[in-house]
Structure 1
Amino acid sequence: MAVGLGSGVFWAYQQYYQTLNTKLTFNQPTLYELKRGQNLHHLLAYLEDEAGLPESWPVKLLVRFEPTLAELKAGTYELSPGMNVQQVLLLLASGKEKLFEIRLVEGFRWRDWQGQMQAHPHLLSAQLTELEAQLKPEGGSLEGWLMPDTYHFTRGMQASVLVKRAYLEMQKFLLEQWPKRKPDLPYASPYEALIMASIVEKETGLAEERPRIAAVFVNRLRKNMRLQTDPTVIYGMGDAFDGDIRRQDLRTATPYNTYVIKGLPPTPIAMVSRDALMAALHPIDSEELYFVSRNDGSHVFSTNLADHNAAVRQYQLKK
């Protein structure tokens, strides 16, 4: 009798290990969600229905003697081609959920980032509209206050969690770098440096030009000259901007039209990279007051209006 019982247990173990090593039939990476309140039985039913598991009873039987095998963690997991049942069990026991990502890009506006997050299929964005009231950023807007980066998250995370992470990253970086800034810059606060950095961010995509662009604007501030930068005009136009800036737009007063106002606009006009912020805090030494695009991504810089007008004729008016 004891021999029969022992052979039966041995046979059950054989069936169990054979089941564990069964290759599943996923032919591409597949997302599987084990919801809260679900357990091993839900997983095995799924593998039987969707992944070619011929039978699940050996696993169900064995977990009565080894209950730790059934300690699976709720979450969303990526099941890969070639996985066997044991690998799936280990994955769900580890809690290593599938990480999704979103790239929040420098130079975009807060509303652009909101649109990205709202469109992401694995993020929940219901709380985004409440964030400015919760965080109370200087300037009253999250514009410029969020660190551009690629952010990773698990399925179903609130987008507000990512925003708070980006907000803390920018605060930390700005406050770390502010005391190290170049002496005698015409910024009254770290926030003004952030505003300047957003203008630099929008004016050039060339890393090597950023400290030089920043120097032009710093020189203009020191001489009480208007910044006269088109990206601030565009930002102030909001939805009225259709891709072209007209003379009338340059004359129309908004809080952001630096052809009309003196000094910096009231808030940043875009999200700011680390490089743009470093350029605003460490502009080069120069006497340049003007620059104009060569239409290839680079700019011609000038120290006086006559040379600037000549560059405008050459590169913009083609005369």
Structure 2
Amino acid sequence: MRKVVALLFILALMALSAAGGIYYMQQQLTRPLNLPESTLYQVESGDSALTVLNDWSERGWLETPMLINRLWLKFFAGDTAIKTGAYMVRSDMTTPQAIARMVAGDEHQFDIGLIEGLRLSQWLTLLEAHEAIDYDIDEETLGELQSAWPLAPEQELMSVEGLFLADTYHFTYHTRASELLKRAMQSMAAYLERAWQQRAGMLPLSSPYEALILASIIEKETAVAAERPHIAGVFVNRLEQNMRLQTDPTVIYGLGEAFDGNLTRAHLKGQTPYNTYVIAGLPPTPIAMAGRAAIDAALNPMVTEDLYFVAKGDGSHKFSATLEEHNKAVYEFQVKPNQ
């Protein structure tokens, strides 16, 4: 009988000891990581949870004894099959929380704003400068993107300018620049196709691509959101009346690297495919990246009698229906302030 009691006592002590050990482990595992700030951590192919925790221990990130971490991984952690990727490890995270994020493959999302009104060359500069993007753009990749445009007009596209939707794009570490542009192109094609189906009737535009060209001009002409439909209405009126668009941004685009910031009378008379003071109708390609609002304006312009507009110097424009009114506005807002 005494032996039985002794055995029960020993078993009770062992149970208490185990319970105490588990409690101690739980207390240790609720301690946050020893990080001065959030840190991007790369899990490489072949890394295990134990590999990661050993690395963190060497870096001094763990205040929990490594033996506790090993016991937790072996007996209590459950699924510890972490996935390759870049993860943001925060200083307020515990070890189980950080490992759980890696098991779920919840990689850190970076973002980049590809802004409307910029040219492709300017977008490429932004993509190349982003530390989390693998820049792989060359003439071949641009050619492949150009060939992949799903809404091509009857004629062959001259360039990829304007084929990408201006937006903020989210991505994971080491995403290729070409993949981001492919996503932006798919977004543009999808949005443009929907907008084309919902366009106003009797527009002087023969294809979604022509609408995109017009949207890019609208994008460059004004940064005032409320003016976009009005600007579009003016251009639609001019196209319908076979008037030249006479818009400076197209001239500047046609000049390319030769433009030094000063648009001259000689430039307005120059022979380029983009000089809308010389050519009739739209230029052959978009001149910038367009956003959704500019596309909507191009396909649903304001109904107006206006044929002219001039910058007022504050970012907005004065609109006029007659040349006489326009000349007065030019004098008031352009000539008179410089006298």
RMSD: 2.1
Residue from 282, 285, 288 that aligns with 1:264: 282
Q: 1:45 to 1:157 in 2, by over 3 A?
A: same
Q: 1:10 and 1:73 mapped to 2: Cα distance?
A: 32
Gaps of 5+ in 1: none
Q: 2:227 and 2:98 mapped to 1: Cα distance?
A: 51
Q: 1:81 and 1:58 mapped to 2: Cα distance?
A: 20
Residues 107-186 of structure 1: matches in 2 within 5 Å?
107-127=117-137, 129-135=139-145, 136=147, 137=149, 138=152, 139-186=157-204
Gaps of 5+ in 2: 1-6
CA positional deviation for 1:233: 0.7
Q: 1:241 and 1:42 mapped to 2: Cα distance?
A: 56
SS at match of 2:277: coil
CA positional deviation for 1:76: 1.1
Q: 1:191 and 1:73 mapped to 2: Cα distance?
A: 42
Residues 215-226 of structure 1: matches in 2 within 5 Å?
215-226=233-244
Q: 1:70 and 1:129 mapped to 2: Cα distance?
A: 43
Tell me which residue corresponds to 1:311: 329
Tell me which residue corresponds to 1:74: 84
Tell me which residue corresponds to 2:3: none
Tell me which residue corresponds to 2:250: 232
Q: 1:122 and 1:294 mapped to 2: Cα distance?
A: 41
Residues 237-316 of structure 1: matches in 2 within 5 Å?
237-316=255-334
SS at match of 1:70: coil
- Asked whether the equivalents of residues 132 and 140 of structure 1 are also in contact (C-alpha less than 8 Å), the reply is no
SS at match of 2:86: strand
Letter in 2 for 1:292: V
CA deviation profile, 1:135-170 (whole Å, cap 9, x unmatched): 313324222111111111111111222211111111
SS at match of 1:151: strand
Tell me the TM-score normalized by structure 2.
0.87
- Asked whether the equivalents of residues 165 and 290 of structure 2 are also in contact (C-alpha less than 8 Å), the reply is yes
- Asked whether the equivalents of residues 162 and 289 of structure 2 are also in contact (C-alpha less than 8 Å), the reply is yes
Q: 1:50 to 1:69 in 2, by over 3 A?
A: farther
Tell me the TM-score normalized by structure 1.
0.93
Residue from 218, 222, 228 that aligns with 1:200: 218
Tell me which moved more, 48-57 or 114-123.
Answer: 48-57
Q: 1:64 and 1:80 mapped to 2: Cα distance?
A: 24
Equivalent pairs counted in the alignment come to 319
Tell me which moved more, 186-195 or 135-144.
Answer: 135-144
Q: Determine which structure has more spread, i.e. the larger CA radius of gyration.
A: 2
CA deviation profile, 1:91-149 (whole Å, cap 9, x unmatched): 22221111110011110111111111111000112145433322313324222111111
- Asked whether the equivalents of residues 12 and 58 of structure 1 are also in contact (C-alpha less than 8 Å), the reply is no
Q: In the alignment, is residue 86 of structure 1 matched against residue 96 of structure 2?
A: yes
SS at match of 1:63: helix
